[in-house]
């Protein structure tokens, strides 16, 4: 599994900025490797129809791919595929609400995803 690169700390004595190019790479890694995100997307797209309990994913009859597609993630976020493509390529930045939702689903702290830099 790939490691998500995060700063984890905020330097209170210096102004820091989000490096969106590096942060966008973390978003792509999360989509590809975060099991919590995969389970959530699977439940949202398949499990609701079949009364999924989300407790026994290992024995689920649904085929859960190792990676979820940008299209599947877009469906869960209620956006077009191109929005996810743009987030992951660094062309556009997710709204703070979407970023917090990402963190909630992935069960991660926002500072585990954001890459901060000084200017």
Model pLDDT for residues 53-95, shown as the tens digit of each residue: 666 676 666 666 667 899 999 999 999 999 999 999 999 999 9
18 three-class SS: strand
Residue 11 pLDDT > 90: no
Range of weakest confidence among 21-25, 33-37, 53-57, 77-81: 53-57
Q: Which of 25, 23, 24, 30 is nearest to 7 (CA)?
A: 23
CB 85 within 8 A of CB 24: no
Amino acid 82: pLDDT = 97
| Count of beta carbons in the 10 Å neighbourhood of residue 19 | 16
More confident residue, 75 or 1: 75
Dig out the tokens for 45 from the structure: 């797209």
Residue 7 has pLDDT above 60, yes or no: no
Strands (E), 8-86: 16-18
Confidence label for 100 from pLDDT (cuts 50, 70 and 90): very high
For the chain, what is the total number of helices (H) and then of strands (E)? 6, 2
Beta-bridge partners for 81: none
Q: Residue 36 pLDDT > 90, yes or no? A: no
Q: DSSP assignment, residue 78?
A: T
What pTM was estimated for this model as a whole? 0.79
Domains of the chain: 1-8+68-119 (1.10.260)
- Sole residue written with tokens 């299209």: 71
């Amino acid at each position: 599994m790939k490691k998500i690169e995060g700063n984890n700390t905020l330097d209170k004595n210096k102004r820091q900025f989000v490096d969106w190019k590096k942060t966008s790479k973390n978003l792509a890694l999360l989509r590809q490797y975060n099991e919590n995100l995969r389970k959530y997307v699977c439940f949202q797209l398949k499990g609701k129809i079949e009364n999924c309990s989300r407790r026994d994913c290992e024995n689920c009859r649904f085929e859960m791919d190792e990676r979820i597609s940008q299209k599947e993630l877009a469906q869960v976020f209620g956006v077009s595929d191109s929005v996810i493509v743009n987030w992951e390529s660094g062309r556009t930045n997710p709204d703070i609400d979407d970023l917090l939702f990402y963190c909630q689903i992935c069960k991660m702290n926002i500072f585990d995803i954001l890459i901060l830099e000084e200017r």
